[in-house]
Amino acid sequence: MRVAERMAISLRTLQRWRRQFAGDGDGGDRRKGSARHVVHRLSYQERQQILVVCNEPPYASLPPAQIVPALADQGEFVASESSFYRVLHSHQQVQRRGRARPPQEPRPVPRRRADGPNQLWSWDITYLPTSVRGVWLYLYLVVDVWSRKIVAWDVHEREDAQLAADLISRACIRERISKQRQRRLILHADNGSAMRAATLEVRLEELGVLRSFSRPRVSNDNPYSEALFRTAKYRPDYPSRPFAGKEEACQWAAAFVHWYCHEHRHSAIKFVTPQQRHSGQAAAICQKRTLVYEQARQRHPRRWSRSVRCWQQPDVVWINEPPDDTTAEEELLFRQAA
């Protein structure tokens, strides 16, 4: 074993070599990548001929898949397509051709973490139909990811960055968000024109709010806003006919926001309302539920085969939670980025 370590080879390789030297093998180094004599390997002249052919004007802009058949039509065979590619790769001549944009590196997955209210907000804009065909109203919704509370909303006749900036400003004033906070608020959104506009960027810098964006064409990076829009539009009281105007849309939106924040028991936060979780009342409510369940179990213990239902509030909420095999160092980086 020590001999194999000194030679920087595995023990099985050393044992095989010993058998070969003893006459039990055919000899030669059969390790992957080792130097060996191959009878049918292309010669140096043949490899140079491939380079010359591929750089000739008629073939300079063609791939080997077209060069080899074209040479065969002329009664000439130099090498196979795989040999063409192998030689071109070894000389760094396999490049993207034409005016097409080269492949871009995938953007890193945005991972955002919140363990309390007003740390991570998500916002988006959705369409509301009107009685005029082709004319839409726009519903702006800003939701706190940790508590699921709608911290700001508005209805407008157009999608505009200035309107979004004013909405975020009012929400920050209402929630008392300032630059002096130890942990700055992160505003997450998709890649819409209003979300990436310079007008909104400047306003957020003044408010001390950081920006975060989804990956292009990946709706799963903004799941909380998408789920909120689905809840809004699949409610039983969502109008079956288009809105007559902005005033009617505002009335419906105000009623929906009040129901969602103060009456709706959200399944992801153990069936408490977003307002209760946002204000810090959810922990006491869930603790009381646990006590009620324990008392019911004591009265009829034979009806309970397991422990009582877990009503503990989720401590941490993620946008794109890291996988379970994440190391401690990566976890620390995610927390710092959040």
What was the pLDDT predicted at 287?
96
Q: How far apart are CA 67 and CA 64, in angstroms?
A: 5
SS3 at position 161: helix
69 C-beta neighbours (distance < 10 Å), count: 10
For 131-178, write each residue's pLDDT tens digit. Answer: 999 999 999 999 999 999 999 999 999 999 999 999 999 999 999 998
What was the pLDDT predicted at 99?
72
Q: How far apart are CA 267 and CA 122, in angstroms?
A: 19
The pLDDT mean for the chain works out to: 88
Whether 48 has a pLDDT exceeding 90, the answer reads yes
Largest CA distance in the chain: 95
What was the pLDDT predicted at 319?
95
Q: Bigger pLDDT: 248 or 100? A: 248
Q: How far apart are CA 252 and CA 128, in angstroms?
A: 11
Q: How far apart are CA 89 and CA 178, in angstroms?
A: 56
What's the whole-model pTM score? 0.71
SS3 at position 151: strand
List strand residue ranges (DSSP E) for 145-214, in order.
150-156, 186-189, 210-213
* Cβ–Cβ under 8 Å, residues 101 and 199: no
199-218 mean pLDDT: 93
**Structural tokens at position 276:** 């209760």
What was the pLDDT predicted at 70?
93
What was the pLDDT predicted at 206?
94
228 C-beta neighbours (distance < 10 Å), count: 21
Q: Which pLDDT band, with edges at 50, 70 and 90, does 17 fall under?
A: confident
Q: Which pLDDT band, with edges at 50, 70 and 90, does 214 fall under?
A: very high
The residues with which 334 forms a beta bridge, in sequence order, are none
Q: Bigger pLDDT: 151 or 97? A: 151
Q: How far apart are CA 228 and CA 128, in angstroms?
A: 14
Residues contacting residue 47 through CB under 8 Å, at least 6 positions apart: 87
Q: Which pLDDT band, with edges at 50, 70 and 90, does 79 fall under?
A: very high
The residues with which 127 forms a beta bridge, in sequence order, are 138
- Strands 186-189, 210-213: parallel, antiparallel or unpaired by DSSP? parallel
For 309-324, write each residue's pLDDT tens digit. Answer: 999 999 999 999 988 7
For 222-260, write each residue's pLDDT tens digit. Answer: 999 999 999 999 999 999 999 999 999 999 999 999 999
Q: How far apart are CA 149 and CA 120, in angstroms?
A: 11
Q: Which pLDDT band, with edges at 50, 70 and 90, does 95 fall under?
A: confident
Q: Concatenated DSSP letters for 269-335?
A: GTSB-HHHHHHT-HHHHHHHHHHHHHHHHHHSGGG-SSPPPP-PPPS-EEESPPPTT--HHHHHHHH
Q: Which pLDDT band, with edges at 50, 70 and 90, does 299 fall under?
A: very high
Torsion-angle region of residue 35: left (phi > 0), alpha (psi -120 to 50) or beta? beta
* Count of positions (residues) in the chain: 338
What was the pLDDT predicted at 208?
93
